[in-house]
């Protein structure tokens, strides 16, 4: 009865003390899909990711790369989904790795996850601030510092993160539908007005090998960031054994097919022989230039508005992910126990939400005071740091699937337990190596820049520090060590 009262918000004032349980049975498959796809942000990919993919790599086969990576991630999802049927924990990667490869490795993974997801979320404030400030200046004639716009978004994100998960899901649903329809209208317009006619050339292997294919895979992989976050909401969904796996498969298919179509449509809008040059010349303005040419200035204006709301949706999605990682680690006493408190009425990880907000506030204000570049530095450096961390976690999680089912199949088939994680782990490891080797292409830095190794080094450092901390817990606090990776059942 107490859990039901918490979930429905019927607690009296005297009963409203912190709990360690997230709201139960609040969201279903569509809600998790909204969280996952919002993190990758269709309009942000169309306006930023695709022109950068084409312009910096010289690869015209970007659409085929999307389909290849969707297939790789679908294979990864087989093992990931199999584990989700046996582990329900807001810590997701942390819990999976702890139970598959050991508690110390799990703590190391949790530190990488915290760095990666915080970096992704905080970096997006730079893009949001720049886009919102530009919109206000263009249409209202008022020059507003980018960081002011970011702080307004930060306040709204903090409010939503404090509230129930289903409210967040409804907000994301509205924003995602708006930006998804905007991109779809753009795609149809480009296909309908292709100056050189329609061709399937971008889906051929020869098109993939036209340029720096390694960098091309890295850019496209960045578009899938967030697909793995479904398991983070496993404690709050209606049927953990089915909801997470279904949502993950749907999200991978949706992202892969939709973005491949958008990449192809954009190349049809310019002509395959011109997409590289036009992307390099116009960058993030390309989608608005093409949209205005085929749909008029009203579309360009609307797309700019939805670009701002799209980044806001991504901010909200990553904020919720970070808050739940803090919650999972606090509940198991890996981090301060206060982080494991959930709101008695909303069932939200409100302390973790507040901590994430504080981290973002410090970084945004710091960049604002010091006059930092919101897109070239805050957005570019931080989100690429985050993407690299997530790819590393995907590789380690693939190995953890093998470890988790090594002695007990738990009723899962051989493909999900052995074949899928082995194939996915090898493919993702290759992508990780490509990402590190081609990191200068992602950052836009010279090949000899120290940043090309310093930023990837931060991911490795986080993992090493986490493993060291895990060893310390093992030696000094056996009770906490026994709880690691086991969620609510560890209490």
Answer whether 148's CB lies under 8 Å from 132's CB: no
- Considering only CA atoms, which of 375, 368, 181, 193 is closest in space to residue 285? 375
The 10s digit of each residue's pLDDT in 258-296 is 999 999 999 999 999 999 999 989 888 899 999 999 999
Q: What is the largest CA-CA distance in the chain?
A: 70
pLDDT of residue 1: 36
- Looking at 3.40.50.720, 1.20.1740.10, 1.25.10.10, 3.40.30.10, the CATH number of the domain 18-490 comes to 1.20.1740.10
pLDDT of residue 239: 76
The dihedral over CA atoms of 249, 317, 348, 340, expressed in degrees to the nearest 10, equals: 90
Residue 11 has pLDDT above 50, yes or no: no
What distance in Å separates the CA atoms of residue 14 and residue 3, rounded to the nearest whole number? 16
The percent of residues above 70 in pLDDT, for the chain, comes to 93
pLDDT of residue 32: 82
pLDDT of residue 9: 41
The 10s digit of each residue's pLDDT in 114-172 is 999 999 999 999 999 999 999 999 888 889 999 999 999 999 999 988 877 777 778 88
pLDDT of residue 89: 77
Lowest-pLDDT range of 235-244, 248-257, 285-294, 456-465: 235-244
**For residue 60, which phi and psi values (nearest 5 degrees)?**
-90, -10
Q: What is the SS3 assignment for 27?
A: strand
List, in order, residues 6 or more apart from 66 with CB less than 8 Å away.
220, 223, 256, 259, 260, 263
Q: Would you give the DSSP letter of residue 338? A: G
pLDDT of residue 487: 65
Q: Where are the domains of the chain?
A: 18-490
Residue 486 has pLDDT above 90, yes or no: no
Answer whether 43's CB lies under 8 Å from 264's CB: no
List, in order, residues 6 or more apart from 96 with CB less than 8 Å away.
80, 83, 87, 231, 397, 400, 401, 404, 485
Lowest-pLDDT range of 19-28, 357-366, 439-448, 467-476: 19-28
Residue 490 has pLDDT above 60, yes or no: no
pLDDT of residue 274: 94
pLDDT of residue 15: 35
What distance in Å separates the CA atoms of residue 291 and residue 400, rounded to the nearest whole number? 45
The 10s digit of each residue's pLDDT in 73-105 is 999 999 988 888 888 777 788 899 999 999 999
Q: List C-alpha distances in Å: 404 to 217, 309, 371.
A: 29, 40, 48
Lowest-pLDDT range of 40-54, 174-188, 224-238, 391-405: 224-238
- Using pLDDT thresholds of 50, 70 and 90, give the confidence band for residue 18: low
The three-state (H, E, C) secondary structure of 349-406, written as one string: CHHHHHHHHHHHHHHHHHHHHHCCCHHHHHHHHHHHHHHHHHHHHHHHHHHHHHHHCC
What distance in Å separates the CA atoms of residue 288 and residue 299, rounded to the nearest whole number? 8
What distance in Å separates the CA atoms of residue 123 and residue 454, rounded to the nearest whole number? 17
pLDDT of residue 427: 94
What distance in Å separates the CA atoms of residue 227 and residue 66, rounded to the nearest whole number? 14
């Amino acid at each position: 009865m107490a859990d039901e009262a918490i979930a429905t918000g019927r607690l009296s004032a005297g009963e409203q003390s912190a709990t360690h349980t997230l709201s139960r049975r609040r969201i279903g498959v569509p809600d998790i899909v909204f969280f996952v796809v919002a993190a990758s942000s269709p309009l942000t990919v169309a306006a930023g990711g695709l022109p950068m993919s084409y312009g910096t790599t010289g690869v015209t086969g970007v659409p085929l790369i999307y389909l290849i990576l969707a297939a790789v991630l679908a294979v990864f999802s087989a093992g990931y989904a199999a584990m989700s049927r046996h582990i329900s924990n807001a810590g997701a990667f942390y819990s999976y790795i702890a139970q598959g490869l050991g508690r110390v490795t799990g703590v190391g993974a949790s530190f990488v996850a915290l760095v990666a997801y915080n970096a992704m979320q905080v970096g997006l404030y730079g893009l949001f601030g720049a886009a919102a400030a530009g919109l206000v200046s263009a249409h209202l004639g008022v020059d507003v510092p980018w960081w002011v716009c970011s702080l307004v978004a930060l306040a709204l994100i903090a409010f939503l993160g404090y509230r129930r998960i289903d409210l967040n899901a409804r907000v994301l649903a509205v924003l995602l539908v708006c930006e998804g329809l905007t991109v779809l209208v753009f795609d149809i317009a480009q296909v309908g007005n292709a100056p050189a006619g329609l061709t399937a050339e971008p889906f051929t292997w020869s098109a993939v090998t036209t340029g720096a294919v390694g960098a091309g895979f890295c850019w496209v992989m960045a578009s899938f960031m967030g697909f793995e976050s479904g398991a983070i909401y496993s404690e709050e969904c209606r049927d953990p054994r089915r909801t997470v796996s279904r949502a993950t498969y749907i999200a991978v298919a949706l992202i892969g097919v939709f973005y491949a179509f958008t990449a192809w449509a954009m190349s049809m809008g310019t002509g395959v022989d011109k997409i590289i040059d036009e992307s390099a010349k116009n960058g993030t303005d390309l989608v608005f230039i093409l949209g205005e040419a085929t749909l008029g200035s009203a579309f360009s204006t609307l797309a700019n508005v939805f670009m701002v709301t799209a980044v806001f949706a991504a901010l909200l999605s990553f904020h919720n992910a970070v808050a739940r990682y803090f919650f999972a680690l606090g509940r198991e006493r890996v981090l301060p126990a206060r982080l494991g408190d959930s709101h008695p009425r909303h069932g939200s990880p409100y302390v973790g939400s507040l901590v994430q907000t504080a981290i973002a506030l410090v970084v945004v204000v710091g960049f604002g005071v010091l006059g930092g570049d919101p897109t070239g530095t805050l957005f570019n450096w931080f989100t690429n740091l985050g993407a690299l961390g997530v790819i590393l976690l995907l590789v380690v999680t693939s190995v953890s699937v093998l470890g988790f089912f090594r002695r007990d199949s738990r009723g899962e088939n051989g493909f999900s337990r052995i074949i899928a994680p082995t194939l996915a782990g090898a493919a993702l490891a290759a992508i990780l190596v490509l990402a590190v080797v081609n990191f200068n292409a992602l950052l836009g830095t010279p090949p000899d820049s120290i940043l090309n190794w310093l930023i990837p080094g931060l991911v490795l450092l986080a993992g090493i520090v986490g493993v060291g901390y895990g060893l310390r817990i093992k030696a000094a606090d056996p009770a906490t060590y026994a709880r690691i990776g086991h969620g609510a059942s560890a209490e």
